[in-house]
Structures are given as C-alpha cells and as structure tokens.
Chains A and B, each alone.
Chain A
C-alpha cells in the first residue's frame, strides 16, 4: 500500500500536469484524493470520530453524567483524564460529547452550504437586479461581525441546541455564497446551459440539473471549509457560555472547566482535553479541505517542483 502510493504520487503529478481535464473526471479525482497523504490523515481522523460518536458506550468506561467519583482527581487507569470538580469522569464526557459536536457541525455546514448554493447560483443565473440584491445581501452578512451579532442574538434566543444551530446557520452561509456565485457566472453561458435555455427548460431545472452538478467539487469544498469553521466557532460560543450549557458537547465541557478555573487549580487535563478534541476535529476537516484544494487546483500542488521553481 505504501509503495503503491509512493509510485503513484510521481505519476499523478505528471498526469495532472499534462492536461487539466483529468481534474474534472470524477474517478481520477477520487483516486488522486486517495493518494494524497493529507486527505488520508484527515479521513482517518474523521472516520475514527464517526465511529466514536456512533458507539460511545463501547469506549467510554463510565457514565458521563454521574457525579459519583471523588472530585478533581488526576489522570489514572480508572479515570484516564481525571475527574471534574463535580466528580464526573472527564474521559467518558469527552467520548460521549463527540456525537453532538459532530452532529451540530455537520447539520450546520450542510444547511449553510445549501443556502449559499441556492443564493449564489440563483444570483449568477438570474443576473440583473436579482443578482445585485442577492450579492449586496451576501456582502452585508459578510461584513457584519459574526460573534458580536451572535452574542446579541443569544440575549433573546432561548438557550439550547436548536438555537445554537439556528444562530450558526444565520451567521455563516454568506462565506461561500460569493464563491459559488462567481463559479456560477462562469458556467452560466456555457453551450449546454444555453442549449437548455433554448430548449425551453424551466430556470429551476437548468439550475439544479445543468449548473449545480458541474459545481460539485466546489460545493464539497465549501462544505468542508464551513465544517472547519463551525467546529471552532461553536466551541468558542459555548466557551463563552452562549450555547447549550446543559448538553454534552466539547464546547460545554470547556465552559464548565473554565468556570471552575480548572487550568489554574491544577486540573489541566479537564481544561485542555476538550480543546484538543475540537482542534483535532477541525484539523481533520481542514486536511481534507486542503487536499481537496490541491487536487482540484493543480497550480497549488507542491508536487510540481520543476515547473513551479522560477528561474532566478
């Protein structure tokens, strides 16, 4: 497997360099993605997390919510990451928190990507006034500082996972809408789109069947970029106590640890391990995203040493 991958990176480099069309062929695309080390590491991290969130009971040794152990224990075999101030097992909390953290990230990223796709492609396809209004709306959402808006909203929303998801979606769809719009603009006047228009297809059909499928790779990249952002952002919100402090998520663990001054009072594992988990999940999505960029855009690839080096 290792030698296979090594010999293939060499050929993949020249293959992609010779013609740009290889990047658009889905099979080639998937194959070069699989041979990308960053993509592989990212995928392994995320698969492990998916497994953990599906079967937390198999891994976690204790009940995550039971406050039945001595408080503020250090790491030991029985309590791998020690216990909280209330005498709960930190490791079990960490494992059980994976599920909701992953769910919130995926749901928010998915819906936000869909919204940005609809807005971006509609703006590009419709053009004229619709385009100008939608682009202006997107720009307004991009400029308004996100965290201050979220803090303001949180004063009115009832705390809970639903509110958290809603607030995250409202504030994050705009990021990718612009990119998807400019991609839509470049596709808009291609022959097959014009042909569909001449055939008399409805706009909705043209957008969904003719335009969106050609943008798949960009849409996936948008989804991954959003996921990277949401993991950290949700945790930041919860860290400030603005999320759903009752549910088991890494961000709420961080909030509880911070409230108990865990770091200063010698319970560093409790304070740092959920943060490390957030960083790891973010890194998983980021590695996939980075690899996706490299495979989709050969110019960014580090493989092409000779061509990239500029004659000094």
Chain B
C-alpha cells in the first residue's frame, strides 16, 4: 500500500504543479498577453470573467495569495472560464474530445499490443532472424518525427495514389449519423493519422519489451518453470512476459503525454478537428483561456492514466504491495 500512497502523492503534487504553472506564467512572463484577450470579451457571465481576471492577473484588486487560492478553488470546482469567443472552455474541449479519444486511443492500444507481442517474440529468440531485423529497424523508425511519417503517408496515399483523403474527420457535406457509409467515411479519414501514430510509437514498445524480457528470461523462477517441465508457451507468456510487462504498464501511461504531443502535430497536419487541432488554433489565435484549459486537461488525462497504471501494477505485482 505504501507504493500506491507514494504514487498518490505524486499525482497530487503534479496536479498542483500544473495548476501553479498556469497561475504563475501570466504573472512572471514579460508583457501580459491576457489583457488584450480579456479586453475583447463582452456579454460574458460576470463570474466567468472574474475567474479569468484572477487567472491572468488582469484588473485584480486583491493580494496574489488570495487570488491564488480563489483560482485553485475555481479549478477544483471545474470553472475554467470562457474562450476568447465566449464559449465555456470545458464545453469547447468536450465537443472535440471524442475525435481525439478515438484516434489516439485506438492508435495507442494498437501500437502497444503490436509492439509488446513483437518484443516478446524478438527476445524469446534472441539473435534470431526476427530479432536481428525488427528491433533496430523499429528503433530507427521510432526516432522519425510523427509528422514526417504523416507527410510521407499523405504524399503516397492521398496525393499520388489518391486512395485516401488529405485530411479532415469526414467528407465535406456529409451529415453525421450511424449509417454504414458515414462510419466508413470516418474510418477512411482516420486511417492515415492513426497509422502515423502507430508507426511512430510501436517501436518504443518493441524496444523496451525486448529489454525487459531479456532480463526476466534469466530469472530463477523462469529456470524453475523450465526445470518443472512446463510447456514453453506457459513459460513464455505466464512466467516471463507477465513479469516483463510490468514496467511497461507504467511506461505506457508515462508515454501518453508524448503520444498526445505527437497527436497534436498529427491532428494539425491532417486538419483533424480534435483537441490537438483545437490547441493549435487556440495558439495561433492567442486564446489564452482555452490554451491554459487544454494544458490542464492534457495533464489531468496523463495523470489519471498513470494512476490507473499504478493501481494495475499493484494488482498484478504482489511485490509492490509489500514494499
């Protein structure tokens, strides 16, 4: 339990740090950009405007400390103010979330499964044919920035072959519905961005899973399992892989921030209207309230995933429960 308690503390400290970064940046950075943004806001709910003024230190007639606590209170009760267009930040985020969740979720899970299975196979036959080709290749591929993979895919499949659309989430003029033709249209639009993300991230899993496997395979309990004459399949998956995957679980959650970052660039490249594209447009429009809301949202998303991974690790690995 001490393990989970320690991770819980990390969760809270990180959350607090992210909130504080949001609060401090407008106060220490030269030239307060927020004044201009807030100046354009009219016809907004006064409570929301007040929350923004406190967040960005515009027209505040109270001490820094008291506005800091008021800001923390606003964040904890889910009041993130409104965007430069006057729409509540959370409404804006929630309307784009499904697209990113679908794209990044599917791509990440696919990459994790493919990478882990390939890593297990590669380490099991160390120095074999698969092992001498796959890890180095994927390792190199995983160092290529996601957007370049995306550019290549667009060039080949959208520009030259004209098989798939250049970007967007569904065809212009199509009306969203649950009809088969619309779902097909959405899948066609999601294929290239998802593929770019899978190609970039799968290699990381192969590499780390292979290295974990190499260590676990030489553990005593694997030798014991072999001496007992257990079937190879059981030794490989139930004894070696099950233990080798543990560090990767936490790694999976920690990597999420990196994957989400990659997804921002990919969504921008494909004009895919998810959170990443929203973040990009917020940045070009200098929509500070929306940017800070998104930054917090991304941080919380990663934090929740890390916490879930920690709980899973505690369930799967009895050693963490004792320590």
Contact surface of A with B, Cβ cutoff 8 Å: 38, 136, 139-140, 142-149, 151-158, 228, 231-233, 235-236, 239-242, 254, 258, 263-264, 268, 271-272, 275-276, 278-279, 282-283, 285-287, 290, 299-300, 302-305, 308-312
**Cross-chain contact of A240 among B127, B155, B268, B291 (Cβ < 8 A):** B268
Residues of A contacting B18 with CB < 8 Å? 144
Query: Are B128 and A275 touching (Cβ within 8 A)?
Result: no
CA distance A146 to B18 in the complex (A): 12
CA distance A154 to B264 in the complex (A): 15
Query: Are A312 and B148 touching (Cβ within 8 A)?
Result: no
Residues of A contacting B67 with CB < 8 Å? none
Contact A240 to B295, CB < 8 A, known contacts A278-B145, A279-B144, A282-B144:
no
B13 at the binding interface (Cβ < 8 Å): yes
B298 at the binding interface (Cβ < 8 Å): yes
Query: Are A151 and B155 touching (Cβ within 8 A)?
Result: no
CA distance A309 to B152 in the complex (A): 38
CA distance A60 to B104 in the complex (A): 41
Leading 10 A-B pairs by shortest Cβ distance: A147-B261, A308-B126, A145-B257, A156-B29, A232-B145, A275-B148, A305-B127, A286-B143, A282-B143, A148-B298
Residues of B contacting A154 with CB < 8 Å? 283
Residues of A contacting B140 with CB < 8 Å? 283, 286-287
Q: For window 254-306 of chain B, which residues contact chain A by CB distance below 8 Å?
A: 254, 256-258, 260-262, 264-265, 268-269, 279-280, 283-284, 286, 288, 291-292, 294-295, 298-299, 302-303, 306
Query: Are B257 and A143 touching (Cβ within 8 A)?
Result: yes
By CB atoms of chain A within 10 A, which of B256, B260, B262, B295 has the most?
B295
Query: Are B145 and A146 touching (Cβ within 8 A)?
Result: no
B166 at the binding interface (Cβ < 8 Å): yes
**Cross-chain contact of A157 among B29, B146, B254, B265 (Cβ < 8 A):** B29
Residues of A contacting B260 with CB < 8 Å? 145, 147-148
Query: Are B127 and A303 touching (Cβ within 8 A)?
Result: yes
Q: How far is the CB of A35 from chain B (nearest CB, A)?
A: 16
Residues of B contacting A312 with CB < 8 Å? 232
CA distance A236 to B200 in the complex (A): 13
Q: For window 16-49 of chain B, which residues contact chain A by CB distance below 8 Å?
A: 17-18, 21-22, 25-26, 29-31, 33
Q: How far is the CB of A24 from chain B (nearest CB, A)?
A: 20
B118 at the binding interface (Cβ < 8 Å): no
Contact A304 to B295, CB < 8 A, known contacts A153-B25, A236-B265, A263-B154:
no
Query: Are A236 and B14 touching (Cβ within 8 A)?
Result: no
CA distance A268 to B155 in the complex (A): 8
Q: Is the interface of B mostly helix, strand, loop or mixed?
A: helix
CA distance A282 to B143 in the complex (A): 6
Tally of contact residues, B, Cβ under 8 A? 68
Residues of B contacting A235 with CB < 8 Å? 145, 147-148
CA distance A278 to B143 in the complex (A): 10
Q: Annotate B132-163 by CB proximity to A: 1 below 8 A, 0 otherwise.
A: 10001001100111111001101100010000
B246 at the binding interface (Cβ < 8 Å): no
Contact surface of B with A, Cβ cutoff 8 Å: 9-10, 13-14, 17-18, 21-22, 25-26, 29-31, 33, 124-128, 131-132, 136, 139-140, 143-148, 151-152, 154-155, 159, 166, 211, 214-215, 217, 226, 232, 254, 256-258, 260-262, 264-265, 268-269, 279-280, 283-284, 286, 288, 291-292, 294-295, 298-299, 302-303, 306
CA distance A287 to B303 in the complex (A): 32
Residues of A contacting B298 with CB < 8 Å? 145, 148
Query: Are B29 and A240 touching (Cβ within 8 A)?
Result: no
Closest A residue to B261 using CB positions: A147
CA distance A272 to B150 in the complex (A): 11
Residues of B contacting A303 with CB < 8 Å? 127
Query: Are A299 and B214 touching (Cβ within 8 A)?
Result: yes
Query: Are B127 and A263 touching (Cβ within 8 A)?
Result: no
Query: Are B265 and A239 touching (Cβ within 8 A)?
Result: yes
Q: How far is the CB of A135 from chain B (nearest CB, A)?
A: 9
Query: Are B264 and A147 touching (Cβ within 8 A)?
Result: yes
Residues of A contacting B265 with CB < 8 Å? 147, 236, 239-240
CA distance A279 to B151 in the complex (A): 12
Query: Are A151 and B10 touching (Cβ within 8 A)?
Result: no
CA distance A147 to B257 in the complex (A): 8
Interface CB pairs A-B, < 8 A, 30? A136-B10, A139-B14, A143-B257, A143-B306, A144-B17, A147-B260, A147-B265, A148-B261, A148-B294, A151-B291, A151-B295, A152-B25, A155-B33, A155-B291, A156-B30, A156-B31, A235-B145, A236-B262, A240-B280, A240-B283, A241-B284, A242-B283, A263-B159, A271-B151, A279-B143, A279-B144, A283-B140, A283-B143, A302-B131, A308-B127
Query: Are A144 and B257 touching (Cβ within 8 A)?
Result: yes
Q: How far is the CB of B25 from chain A (nearest CB, A)?
A: 6
**Cross-chain contact of A236 among B127, B145, B294, B302 (Cβ < 8 A):** B145
Closest B residue to A311 using CB positions: B226
Q: How far is the CB of B150 from chain A (nearest CB, A)?
A: 9
Closest A residue to B287 using CB positions: A155
Query: Are A152 and B292 touching (Cβ within 8 A)?
Result: yes
